[in-house]
Structure 1
Amino acid sequence: MGERKGTNKYYPPDYDPKAGGLNKFLGTHALRERARKIHLGIIIVRFEMPYNIWCEGCNNHIGMGVRYNAEKTKIGMYYTTPLYQFKMKCHLCDNHIVIKTDPGNLEYVIVSGARRQENRWDPTQNEQVVPETKETQKRMFDDSMFKLEHGSEDKNSYESSKPRLIQLFNRNEEKWSDDYSANQRLRQIFRKQNSELKRSESQDSALLKRVSLSIPLLAETEEDKKMASLLSQKLKPMKSVGENRDLVRKRIISSSSLPTANFSTTKELKAVKILNNSAKKDLGIVKKSSTCVQPETKKARLSNSLVGAYGSGSDSD
């Protein structure tokens, strides 16, 4: 197939081999439209997005791997490695995105038109194996003592993490050694979640049908319950000032003027009996006694007897 590409080119009748080639004779470039800006040092290439980004023109998400026709330009050198810059137009708006290479950090850097979606983290926080940096590798190559200390630290970290690795291995063997049991447990969990989902959907559909709405409902939370209770208290009918005044008056009129605590029918009958006996006794004393009893003394005696009758706490007498 390789040799056919050279023989299948069309050569016009007026072609002159002295022109130096078919492209030079026709006045075109071998890359055709991709080289339309080559006189400016720009070539059109197919660029693939190296990571997830957010377009600053339309605020839409552009995923890693989306391809664009980008203008590739050489902008400098990093030692002997050339630095390239890629300019492309967003497929969702008219915004242009500019990305350049960073050989020093083995990375692509956004110059303008977008911002990176941060999905990076420190691998040491997850206890991952981190490759050595170039400075560490160079020092290990030049310094034998540092290499020895570094090797001893690696051995100590391995010994300290060995029990944890054994525990994880045993747990994995315990959970997943029997495929049938593991699959059965997972299916039970899925059935339970599916039934709960269907029940919530039926309740939501019934509620929406009752209120004649067609909006998606979110799950109920404790904060929603508290807010609903507060709103229900606020929605209670409020009484006017006149209605409250009438209620207070009715309460005062209907209430007794005497103390009603620990008062019963038995105590009432006992109080009436004491009143009758006191009246008869006082009348007899007035007829037989030669001394005059002051009216105030009678009233005081009568009030003391009544207070004693009302104040007693037992009803057995």
Structure 2
Amino acid sequence: MSERKVLNKYYPPDFDPCKIPKLKLPKDRQYVVRLMAPFNMRCKTCGEYIYKGKKFNARKETVMNELYMGLPIFRFYIKCTRCLAEITFKTDPENTDYAMEHGATRNFQAEKLLEEEEKRIVQDREEEELNNPMKVLENRTKDSKMEMEVLENLQELKELNQRQAQVDFEGMIDRYSEFEKREKEREKEEDERETKEMLDRALVKRLRDSDSDSEKEEEDSSGSQAKKPSTDKPTDILTTLKPTEALGSSAGGAKKAKVETWERSVGTLGGKGALGLLVVRKKPAATFLKPHPVAAASAPTSQTDSKASTTDSKNASKPVTTQNGSSSLSLLGAYSDSDSNDSE
């Protein structure tokens, strides 16, 4: 199996190549080759465009009885990609190109035709000058006149352009540089002005905030001074005695202690008497029970209590106030304590 990969085969010493029979193949036989379209073309049958470089499986054959300087000419057969119509073209070694034969038309051939026409004109002129020296002189004079006319026209165009447009490029560059410099300075000034305005606004806002804070502090201080109680000390209200607490030595001390503890726990509501309308003294009920020893001891003060009860019934609609600005809530606590002691 390895011998199929080698390049040189073994030939025995008695090998004679003349003894090998030769196959007789026709000269116009065709081969299947893979090629690309050499130029842009359009199918005559369906109008499909076939662009340069499209690949085809083509049939290749040698053109009989056509040679160019001993070189054979080959013909190729391809099929349209849309209608499968047959298109043929062949090689053109004279122009190093391909020539269209049948089935399609070549596109973008105007430039090639122009070049061929120029070549033809030059060739005809050379042939004329070859046999006629007077034609050579005539052609030279025509060329010189044409050259002079072209130079004159070019000079006129240059002068016309110079008269109509005199452009100073250096001056334009200088003016443009000055304009850029002014623009940069203007932008810098605008930035500085904007920053200054922002700082001024921030400073004004800060001053306004400080002024408003000082005004609020002044209002708070004035309000606290206005709300300050008339008593010199807040604890003075705890040392005052109620009129109903002077009933006896032992009972008065207990009531005083209870009132003080009540005021410490609940607190006072100020001297305004907001709850004065809600507190009404309880009228003493007539009892026929035996008087309490503490009540007997405090007999001299019974007349004052009866007078106070009459005045309280008359002034029930008025708010209840106590001595030294005590609240009605503390008076309610003291009153409840006195009732419970009397019932005992």
- State the TM bucket, normalised to the shorter chain: 0.3 to 0.5
Q: Greater CA radius of gyration, 1 or 2?
A: 2
Relative contact order: is structure 1 or structure 2 higher (C-alpha 8 Å, sep ≥ 6)? 2
* TM-score, normalization by structure 1: 0.35
